[in-house]
């Protein structure tokens, strides 16, 4: 779930409304489709009000549409650009600026319901007055003007492009296995995506059934979110306040990505000295709160088992207090990497 939420990032950096809608976006767009078809997930995420507002499609008006001349309303290409660059074919997907513009035209009219007494207030609707009239050509294919379905048809085709399969497969391999994933693994994931028409359950099964997913060295640095969640599970404290505080302190707040690219899926981007200092501060705080009630040596065996190095085992055993031992355990290389 977390991976797809990051792939289709929305962020409070795009305004307070996006932050308010973040939870609904995950419940309504991401979770129901995370193990379904990629094409369905793509459409659900793209049409959700959180995404419409975040990427400025909500106020985009076709220049030649009835609403195009209204004061303060203009045409915006942000959503179309991110759909191509980030969500589907990727930056090397062979699209041009003309494709971006044509897709943006096709998406005009997709907006959020804002009428106070509307039954679906805050939901999706199509405003035909804001839609750019005419056929649009994207990646060499012409799409007739079918209103709301024009944009949906383009997204359906983008979801099935070979470039999309490559882009998604590599991102999955990087996120779950290695910053430099084995080419064979990426190829198998790409094949699974293509052969199953983007069945994400089958993609997940292809990942976990691959030898590379389990034989790769444990060198990938956990993101801030992964470290916070791993620490909470280790302490048997799935406390909401702890999670929110930890994510904020470590620079990965919920629905707070700095850009539409989301937070980095590369472990190397989480190794900065300041980031490690912040993790240490959090580990010490957690250890001081929970150390007195825990047996760090037993916890180390439960958490790490055969993965634990002699150095980590010795450091935990020789610690001057339970609190110090727990902090050392949380900051051990084995807890920082996966």
pLDDT tens track for 2-24: 999 999 999 998 887 888 899 99
State mean pLDDT over 300-310.
Answer: 93
State mean pLDDT over 297-301.
Answer: 94
Where are the domains positioned within the chain?
Answer: 2-159, 162-215, 224-336
Alpha carbons 244 and 240: distance in angstroms, whole number: 6
State mean pLDDT over 322-336.
Answer: 95
Per residue in 225-278, pLDDT tens? 999 999 988 988 767 887 888 999 999 998 999 999 999 999 999 998 899 999
Whether 11 and 257 have beta carbons less than 8 Å apart is answered as yes
Residue with the bigger pLDDT between 276 and 1: it is: 276
Tell the burial category of 117 from Cβ atoms under 10 Å away from its Cβ (0-12, 13-18, 19+). Answer: exposed
Whether 154 and 148 have beta carbons less than 8 Å apart is answered as no
Whether 10 and 255 have beta carbons less than 8 Å apart is answered as yes
pLDDT for residue 72: 59
State mean pLDDT over 306-319.
Answer: 95
**Most confident segment among 241-245, 292-296, 316-320:** 316-320
pLDDT for residue 238: 65
pLDDT surpassing 70 at residue 114: yes
Whether 90 and 166 have beta carbons less than 8 Å apart is answered as yes
Whether 93 and 83 have beta carbons less than 8 Å apart is answered as no
pLDDT for residue 191: 99
State mean pLDDT over 32-51.
Answer: 98
State percent of the chain over pLDDT 90.
81
pLDDT surpassing 70 at residue 71: no
State mean pLDDT over 141-160.
Answer: 99
Read off the pTM.
0.94
pLDDT for residue 206: 98
Tell the burial category of 109 from Cβ atoms under 10 Å away from its Cβ (0-12, 13-18, 19+). Answer: buried
Q: Confidence band (pLDDT; 50, 70, 90) for 181?
A: very high
pLDDT surpassing 70 at residue 88: yes
Residue 335: both structure tokens together? 């807890």
Alpha carbons 112 and 140: distance in angstroms, whole number: 30
Residue with the bigger pLDDT between 16 and 131: it is: 131
For the ranges 1-5, 35-39, 105-109, the lowest mean pLDDT is seen at: 1-5
List the Cα angle 116/117/120 in 5-degree steps: 90
Secondary structure of residue 219 in the 3-state scheme? coil
Q: Confidence band (pLDDT; 50, 70, 90) for 291?
A: confident
């Amino acid at each position: 779930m977390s991976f797809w939420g990051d792939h289709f990032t929305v962020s409070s950096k795009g305004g307070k409304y996006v932050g308010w809608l973040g939870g609904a976006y995950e419940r309504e767009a991401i979770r129901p489709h995370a193990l379904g078809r990629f094409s369905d997930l793509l459409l659900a995420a793209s049409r959700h009000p959180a995404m419409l507002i975040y990427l400025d499609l909500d106020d985009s008006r076709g220049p030649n549409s009835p609403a195009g001349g209204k004061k303060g309303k203009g045409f915006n290409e942000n959503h179309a650009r991110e759909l191509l660059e980030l969500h589907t074919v990727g930056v090397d997907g062979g699209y041009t600026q003309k494709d971006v513009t044509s897709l943006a035209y096709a998406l005009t009219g997709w907006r959020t319901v804002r009428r106070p007494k509307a039954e679906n207030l805050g939901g999706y609707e199509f405003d035909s007055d804001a839609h750019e009239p005419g056929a649009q050509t994207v990646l060499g294919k012409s799409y007739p003007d079918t209103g709301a379905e024009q944009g949906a048809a383009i997204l359906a085709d983008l979801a099935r492009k070979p470039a999309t399969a490559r882009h998604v497969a590599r991102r999955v391999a990087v996120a779950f296995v290695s910053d430099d994933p084995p080419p064979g693994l990426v190829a198998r994931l790409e094949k699974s995506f293509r052969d199953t028409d983007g069945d994400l359950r089958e993609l997940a099964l292809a990942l976990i059934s691959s030898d590379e997913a389990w034989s790769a060295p444990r060198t990938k640095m956990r993101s801030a979110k992964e470290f916070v969640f791993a620490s909470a599970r280790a302490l048997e404290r799935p406390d909401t306040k702890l999670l929110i505080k930890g994510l904020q302190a470590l620079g990965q707040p919920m629905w707070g990505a700095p850009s539409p690219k989301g937070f980095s899926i590369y472990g190397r981007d989480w190794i900065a000295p300041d980031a490690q200092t912040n993790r240490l501060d959090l580990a010490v705080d957690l250890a001081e709160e929970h150390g007195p009630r825990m047996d760090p040596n037993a916890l180390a065996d439960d958490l790490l088992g055969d993965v634990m190095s002699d150095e980590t085992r010795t450091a935990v055993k020789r610690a001057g207090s339970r609190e110090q031992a727990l902090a050392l355990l949380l900051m051990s290389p084995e807890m920082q990497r996966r």
